[in-house]
Structure 1
């Protein structure tokens, strides 16, 4: 699943209202009664620029992880990947979004779609981890 690099995140974004209740999928609650405080997206996503950048996903290999074509991923370059993390990687210069896995002595990059086989990293392969995915953002505007 390739991606488009959109750039690093810079601090200093605006603040937005933060409500202390969870939004039910049924009947709405009068939200203004629950306004707790303003919160910045930097605080909400615990962004630590310049270690954080954004990519836009293309493809469907990670759909069972909830990552869909067109989604934005917030990626932390400062985190060491652990088995089970979703990572941005380059395998033989091919950029990928995959689930990172260590199985015995093997490193494996797994898709989250049964249509795509796992990629077992061989000695002749060149693997570079570009960061660990921390959040995904999806637009629900289908216009």
Structure 2
């Protein structure tokens, strides 16, 4: 992956050169009692194929910060961002605001646009004409380490 770091996010391009994917068992994994393993069907699963719908417009970015923890986006999570999707109310977006990238939930109202954090320790941001502002892409998935 090619990386570019900014203050709040580190961006990566998907590497689609290895299309084989990891081994995938299509029988489900029991979260209760174990089931017999004799019927496993082995296939290959590519996370790029599962998570990247538009290869030319998709990027990954690593989260830095705590402003979206109540939306399930934690520090060091990896975001899948699609730049071809239209911004909509209530979508989580990566935005370029006054020289820095940030990830926030969009709130579109008659009187304007708000960027909403998902952590009560952070304040909503009302976008004004004075702001240098671009909605850079829409978050489609998050990849977490457990």
Q: Residue in 2 aligned with 1:9?
A: 14
Q: TM-score scaled by structure 1?
A: 0.85
**Could you tell me how far apart the structure 1 residues matched to 2:23 and 2:38 are?**
10
List runs of 5+ in structure 1 lacking aligned partners: none
Structure 1 partner of 2:115:
109
Partner of 1:86: 92
Q: TM-score, structure 2 length as denominator?
A: 0.83
Q: Which residue number corresponds to residue 48 of structure 1? A: 54
Q: How does 1:1-143 map to 2 (within 5 A)?
A: 2-5=8-11, 7-13=12-18, 14-30=20-36, 33-35=39-41, 37-140=43-146
Report runs of 4+ in structure 1 exceeding 4 Å deviation. none
Partner SS, residue 43 of structure 1: helix
Displacement after TM superposition at 1:36 (Å) = 5.9
Instruction: Name the CA shift for 1:53/1:46 in 2 (closer, same or farther; >3 Å).
Output: closer
Greater shift, 31-40 or 56-65, is seen at 31-40
Over aligned residues, Cα RMSD in angstroms? 2.0
